[in-house]
């Protein structure tokens, strides 16, 4: 894990370093700023030092002080900035995952119990369409439909009058009115995959000997189904762990289109601004979440499935 | 071999969605291949009288209900008495016939020979009447022509990107599986490392590396490379797994005994045996690349004006006011969906046909 993190940090650094220009380049075309001032700015931000020195300082800051660097554009520590946007990002991502699972699991079960029926095919096609719509386009369509239906404030998580307002019931209602678009947009792309996996698992389980033996024991069909569903859900846990980072990064583009207060637009602007430390830390952060997600999936699987624990 | 092929073909054609996908893809590729000829206008020429013109209605009957063949009415601008906005309205005194094989703007067909023949169009000057199947954009350029030209990028980016990523993946995977030991461990760790980055942020970050002053062909290849750099890991894993079991087979032993070099065993004996799986994996990874390119271009980090792609075309629909006033700007999105959906259907059918035991999970 630790050496992995080291290599991940190197990759993050190299990627940002390869970007042509740096944060100061945007001032180069500005006639009001003299070359001497630019040199001074570079020096102040520490951009005049060679790459390996900057990398070393960055890592040293993280390890010794928990300091992820300094955002040039916001003039504040990167850690703080990311932390501020973390809440909504996690909220939207988790919401999208819940949305996916609530739909995908029953759809998969239905498909598996009625294989090759009309319902099975229609669900498959719907799932595939969800898989094939670019998320930003789905966001555009939904916003357009909302506008056509007479909505005035689409995009964002709140109507303008609620943005700074203290928490209240009205604010919650307003949030729910806005939230469904991001949840659908972010959740849609993973829906088909989840559904197909669930369908496959369920088909495997339904035809396995233990289900036959349950039936042979005279259990009613409802109980048999319950046992089968439990067993089919087990392997899904390993997906859940890897899903969080995927959904997390899936929110990036949707958030830019829908204007959500999450990390997506933030990361995008940082990329355009050459806000190096912000980009690096964000990439690092997502890689860490992926690692943790995998670990979590392994552990959860072992907890849930005694067969894996034993071996 | 022939029997395997015909079995695969038979299984594939049993899959209805796969066949539909294949037909849709063939049509789209034909449109793209002959895009210069099919497009009635050049994708860069702006027509100032048709800025944000709505899609033209192609009519067959005139006001009195007489048949006159396909025609469009000329457009005139009228100021809306309520909103004072300039709006287009049809000038019914001016029917302009839509003809096939008309002479229009000059272009180079496939970059080889000059011609001015277009599949269809109107012979009237573009100041008066245009046939805009999907409407006009903010410079009065024909969206239909731009969609066709944009298809050149969007429909090939996945193909080329997949070719590169499958090529890298097959070689790395075969090396990893064939040599085993330290080579295998190092390669697998490396793949794991790259896989700990989700694709979208990495794509965006890598796309910003491409220098902004690059000409559009370079940017195109830059994007292809960015896409394929992230796609090869999944292929490598599948190939490695297959090579691990293949290398124990007798024919590899026989090749070794006859003194065939390792490189030759890999390229002549191992990789060809994985080819059917590679085809399935490629088809399944094309949709992701098309979506990736469209997302990168949509965010303005990919293909640049005046060249275009479906993602970039959608960028102009990004602001809500534009979207509401000119909903036809969303048309390119439908093309993305159809293309990606078709590739998904074809890939799925191919997987069922080639690989009934599902050795290849979604990469």
Question: From A253, which residue of chain B is nearest by alpha-carbon distance?
Answer: B295
The better pLDDT of the pair A152, A89 is held by A89
Structural tokens at position A253:
């583009």
Question: From A247, which residue of chain B is nearest by alpha-carbon distance?
Answer: B198
Alpha-carbon distance values, A311 to A232, A306, A308, B241 (Å): 20, 9, 5, 22
Q: Considering CB atoms only, which of B198, B204, B208 is closest to A245?
A: B198
* pLDDT(B340) > 90: yes
The better pLDDT of the pair A79, A45 is held by A79
Query: If you write DSSP's letter for every residue of A211-280 in order, what string do you get?
Result: HHHHHHTT--HHHHHHHHHHHHHTTHHHHHHHHHHHHHHHHHHHHHHHT-SSHHHHHHHHHHHT-HHHHH
- Cβ separation B205–A271 shorter than 8 A: yes
Average pLDDT over residues A109-124: 88
B206/A contact by beta carbon, under 8 A: yes
What is the rounded end-to-end Cα distance, in angstroms, of chain B? 27
Q: Please tell me the predicted confidence (pLDDT) of residue B363.
A: 41
- Cβ separation B201–A141 shorter than 8 A: no
Q: Please tell me the predicted confidence (pLDDT) of residue A174.
A: 82
Domains in chain B with CATH codes: 4-33+146-362 (1.10.3720.10), 48-140 (no CATH)
B111/A contact by beta carbon, under 8 A: no
Could you tell me if A97 and A241 are in contact, meaning their C-beta atoms sit under 8 angstroms apart?
A: no
Q: Rounded CA gap, A310 and A44, in Å?
A: 58
The Cα angle at residue A54 between residues A49 and A55, in degrees rounded to 5: 150
- Measured between beta carbons, the chain B residues lying within 8 angstroms of A16 are 205
The better pLDDT of the pair A51, B358 is held by A51
* Mean pLDDT over the full length of chain B: 84
- Measured between beta carbons, the chain B residues lying within 8 angstroms of A286 are 197-198, 201
Average pLDDT over residues A88-101: 89
Q: Rounded CA gap, A241 and B26, in Å?
A: 39
Angle between helices B275-298 and B331-354 (to 10 degrees): 160
* pLDDT(A24) > 90: no
Least confident of A54-63, A162-171, A295-304: A162-171
* Mean pLDDT over the full length of chain A: 84
B199/A contact by beta carbon, under 8 A: yes
Q: Considering CB atoms only, which of A193, A248, A257 is closest to B318?
A: A257
Q: Please tell me the predicted confidence (pLDDT) of residue A310.
A: 67
Question: From A2, which residue of chain B is nearest by alpha-carbon distance?
Answer: B193
For testing contact with chain A, the best of B16, B204, B206, B340 (most A CBs within 10 A):
B204
- Cβ separation A134–B295 shorter than 8 A: yes
Note the pLDDT tens digit of each residue in B19-48: 999 999 999 999 999 888 888 888 887 887
* A177 three-state secondary structure: helix
Q: Considering CB atoms only, which of B193, B294, B311 is closest to A7?
A: B193
What is the rounded end-to-end Cα distance, in angstroms, of chain A? 23
Could you tell me if B200 and B226 are in contact, meaning their C-beta atoms sit under 8 angstroms apart?
A: no
Average pLDDT over residues B192-218: 86
A188/B contact by beta carbon, under 8 A: no
A295/B contact by beta carbon, under 8 A: no
Taken in order B228, B239, B174, A11, the sign of the CA dihedral is positive
Q: Please tell me the predicted confidence (pLDDT) of residue B343.
A: 92
The better pLDDT of the pair A46, B147 is held by B147
Block residue for tokens 């040039």: A72
Pairing state between β B86-109 and B67-79: antiparallel
Question: From A251, which residue of chain B is nearest by alpha-carbon distance?
Answer: B200
Q: Please tell me the predicted confidence (pLDDT) of residue B172.
A: 93
Q: Considering chain B, what percentage of its residues have pLDDT values greater than 70?
A: 97
Note the pLDDT tens digit of each residue in B51-109: 788 888 877 887 777 787 788 877 777 787 887 777 777 777 777 778 888 887 788 87
The better pLDDT of the pair A225, A234 is held by A225
Q: How many CB pairs under 8 A join A and B?
A: 126
* pLDDT(A69) > 70: yes
Question: From A194, which residue of chain B is nearest by alpha-carbon distance?
Answer: B362
- Measured between beta carbons, the chain B residues lying within 8 angstroms of A245 are 198
- Name the pLDDT band for A109 (thresholds 50, 70, 90): very high
Q: Please tell me the predicted confidence (pLDDT) of residue A70.
A: 80
Q: Please tell me the predicted confidence (pLDDT) of residue B2.
A: 61
Query: If you write DSSP's letter for every residue of A24-60 in order, what string do you get?
Result: GGGGTT-TTS-HHHHHHHHHHHTTTS-HHHHHHHHHH
Q: Considering CB atoms only, which of B299, B324, B341 is closest to A129?
A: B341
* pLDDT(B360) > 60: no
Quote the pTM value.
Answer: 0.87
Q: Rounded CA gap, A200 and B31, in Å?
A: 37
Q: Considering CB atoms only, which of B195, B299, B333 is closest to A268?
A: B299
Least confident of A41-45, B160-164, B224-228, B345-349: A41-45
Query: With a CB-CB cutoff of 8 Å, which residues 200-229 of chain A face chain B?
Result: 200
Average pLDDT over residues B283-307: 88
Q: Considering chain B, what percentage of its residues have pLDDT values greater than 90?
A: 20
Comparing CA positions, the residue from A122, A240, A242, A258 lying closest to residue A183 is A258
Note the pLDDT tens digit of each residue in B131-156: 878 888 888 888 888 999 889 889 99
Comparing CA positions, the residue from B324, B319, B312 lying closest to residue B143 is B312
Average pLDDT over residues A72-98: 85
**Half-sphere exposure for B1 (CA within 13 Å, toward CB):** 4
- Quick one: residue B78, left, alpha or beta (phi over 0 = left, psi -120 to 50 = alpha)? beta
Q: How far away is chain A from the Cα of B94, in angstroms, using its nearest Cα?
A: 33
Least confident of A178-182, B49-53, B257-261: B49-53
- Cβ separation B202–A248 shorter than 8 A: no
B192/A contact by beta carbon, under 8 A: yes
Q: How far away is chain A from the Cα of B204, in angstroms, using its nearest Cα?
A: 8
Q: Considering CB atoms only, which of B199, B323, B344 is closest to A132?
A: B344
Q: Rounded CA gap, A166 and A156, in Å?
A: 17
Structural tokens at position B51:
């800025």
B330/A contact by beta carbon, under 8 A: yes
């Amino acid at each position: 894990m630790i050496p992995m993190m080291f290599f991940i940090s190197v990759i993050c650094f190299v990627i940002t370093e390869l970007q042509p220009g740096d944060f100061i380049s945007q001032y180069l075309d500005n006639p009001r700023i003299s070359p001497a001032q630019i040199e001074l700015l570079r020096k102040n931000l520490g951009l005049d030092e060679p790459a390996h020195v900057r990398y070393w300082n960055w890592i040293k800051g993280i390890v010794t002080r928990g300091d992820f660097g300094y955002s040039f554009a916001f003039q504040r520590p990167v850690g703080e900035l990311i932390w501020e946007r973390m809440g909504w990002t996690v909220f939207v991502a988790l919401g999208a995952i819940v949305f996916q699972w609530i739909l995908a699991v029953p759809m998969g079960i239905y498909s598996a119990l009625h294989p090759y029926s009309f319902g099975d095919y229609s669900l498959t096609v719907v799932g595939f369409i969800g898989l094939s719509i670019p998320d930003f386009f789905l966001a555009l369509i939904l916003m357009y439909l909302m506008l056509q239906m007479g909505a005035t404030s689409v995009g964002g998580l709140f109507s303008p009058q609620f943005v700074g307002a203290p928490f209240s019931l009205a604010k919650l209602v307003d949030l729910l009115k806005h939230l469904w678009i991001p949840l659908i947009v972010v959740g849609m792309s993973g829906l088909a995959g989840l559904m197909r996996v669930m369908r496959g698992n369920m088909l495997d389980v339904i035809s396995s000997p233990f289900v036959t033996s349950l039936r042979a024991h005279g259990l009613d069909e409802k109980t048999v189904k319950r046992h089968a569903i439990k067993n089919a859900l087990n392997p899904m846990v390993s997906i859940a762990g890897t899903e969080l980072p995927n959904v997390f990064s899936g929110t990036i583009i949707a958030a830019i289109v829908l204007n959500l207060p999450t990390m997506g637009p933030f990361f995008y602007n940082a990329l355009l601004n050459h806000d190096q430390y912000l980009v690096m830390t964000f990439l690092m952060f997502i890689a860490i979440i992926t690692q943790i997600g995998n670990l979590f999936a392994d552990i959860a699987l072992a907890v849930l499935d005694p067969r894996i624990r034993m071996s | 071999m022939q029997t395997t092929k015909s079995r695969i073909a038979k299984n594939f054609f049993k899959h209805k969605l796969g066949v539909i996908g294949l037909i849709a893809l063939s049509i789209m590729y034909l449109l793209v291949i002959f895009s210069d000829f099919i497009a009635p206008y050049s994708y860069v020429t702006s027509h100032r009288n048709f800025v944000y013109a709505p899609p033209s209605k192609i009519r067959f009957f005139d006001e009195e209900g007489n048949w006159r063949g396909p025609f469009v009415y000329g457009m005139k601008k009228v100021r809306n008495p309520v909103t004072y906005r300039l709006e287009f309205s049809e000038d019914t005194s001016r029917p302009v016939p839509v003809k096939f094989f008309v002479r229009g703007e000059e272009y180079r067909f496939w970059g080889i020979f000059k011609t001015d023949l277009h599949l269809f169009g109107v012979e009237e000057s573009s100041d008066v009447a245009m046939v805009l199947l999907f409407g006009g954009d903010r410079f009065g350029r024909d969206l239909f022509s731009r969609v066709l030209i944009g298809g050149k990028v969007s429909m090939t980016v996945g193909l080329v990107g997949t070719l590169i990523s499958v090529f890298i993946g097959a070689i790395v995977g075969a090396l990893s599986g064939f040599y085993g030991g330290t080579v295998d461990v190092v390669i697998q760790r490396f793949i794991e490392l790259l896989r700990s980055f989700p694709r979208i942020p990495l794509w965006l970050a890598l796309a910003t590396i491409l220098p902004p002053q690059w000409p559009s062909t370079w940017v195109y290849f830059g994007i292809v490379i960015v896409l394929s750099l992230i796609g090869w890991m999944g292929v490598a894993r599948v190939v490695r797994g297959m090579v691990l079991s293949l290398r124990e087979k007798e024919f590899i032993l026989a090749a070794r005994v006859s003194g065939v070099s390792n490189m030759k065993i890999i390229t002549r004996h191992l990789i060809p045996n994985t080819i059917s799986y590679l085809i399935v994996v490629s088809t399944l990874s094309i949709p992701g690349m098309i979506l990736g390119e469209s997302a990168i271009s949509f965010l303005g980090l990919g293909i640049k004006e005046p060249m275009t792609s479906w993602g970039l075309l959608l960028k102009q629909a990004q602001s809500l006011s534009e979207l509401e006033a000119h909903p036809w700007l969303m048309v390119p999105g439908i093309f993305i969906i159809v293309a990606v959906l078709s590739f998904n259907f074809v890939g799925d059918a191919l997987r069922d046909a080639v690989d009934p035991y599902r050795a290849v999970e979604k990469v």
